Amino acid sequence: MAQAKQLAATVRSGTGKGAARSARREGRVPAVIYGGGEPPLAINLDYKTTNQLIYAGHFLTTIFEIDVEGNKVRVLPRDYQLDVVKDTPLHVDFLRLKSGSSLRVDVPVHFVGQETSAAIKAGGTLNIVRHTVELRVPADNIPEAITADVSKMGMGDSLHISAIALPEGCRPVITNRDFTVATLVPPKTVEETPAAAAAPAAAAPAAKAAPAKK
C-alpha cells in the first residue's frame, strides 16, 4: 500500500477565475478537492511545494493527506494544469479517497530479472509494451507499482498481464483480453543483400587487363 504524503493547504475564499488569479499573485496554486459524496472544497496550495511535487514524477499516482486548516483529507491527484509558456502549475484537481470505494489508476510496472535472464545475456532485447497498467484498485490500498519478473522469458516470448501477480483487490481495467506487457526480442541479424553479393562477381571481369592493340 502506498504511503500518504503530507501536504498543507488553506481554504480558498471565492471561486472562479478572479479568485484563482488572486491566489496565484499571492504565490499560491488554486486547487479543488471533490468526490467522496461531499461538496467540492476550494483550496490553495504553496506554489513552491506544488511545483516540486509535480516535477518530482509520479504525481498522479501519489496519495496525499492534505491538512486543510486542521481538517485532514486523504486524496489522490487526478489532473493538473500548467502554464503553456512557463510550464508552472496553474491548478490541481484532487479526488477524495473514501474507505471501501475503488477507483481507476495507472500503476507503474517495475521490471526485474534482466540481470539473470539467459535470453537477454544471449543478445535478446526487452521490449516494454506498457510502462503502466490501468487497474481498478481499492481507494484505501492503492499500490505504488506492480512487479514483472522477466528472468524466465525465452527468446521471442511475450509477458501477459495474467503472468503478473497483482495486489489483493486490484484487477485490470481491460478484461476482454490477456494483453501484452513486454516481449523479448531476438537479436537482429544483418543479411547480405543479393546486390552486395553480386558486386564482387561483377567486378571480376573488369579486373582483367584488356589485350594490347597491335
In a domain, 203, yes or no: no
Domain shared by 94 and 108, yes or no: no
- Looking at the structure, do residues 181 and 156 belong to the same domain, yes or no? yes
Q: pTM higher than 0.85 for the full model? A: no
- Please report whether residue 180 resides in a domain: yes
Q: CA-CA distance, 171 to 138, in Å (whole number)?
A: 10
Q: Are residues 84 and 108 in the same domain?
A: no
- Kindly tell me the sign of the dihedral angle through the C-alpha atoms of 82, 85, 88, 91: negative
Shared domain for 131 and 157, answered yes or no, is: yes
Element (H, E) at 31: strand 28-35
Rounded mean pLDDT, 186-190: 80
- In which element (H, E) is residue 206 found? helix 194-207
182/150 Cα distance (integer angstroms): 9
What is the domain count for the chain? 2
Do 90 and 125 belong together in one domain? no
- Residues 93, 18, single domain; the answer is yes
- DSSP annotation of 14 reads S
Show the domain range for 24. 5-98
What mean pLDDT value characterizes the chain? Answer: 88
Q: What is the pLDDT of residue 10?
A: 94
Grid coordinates given for 117: 535472464
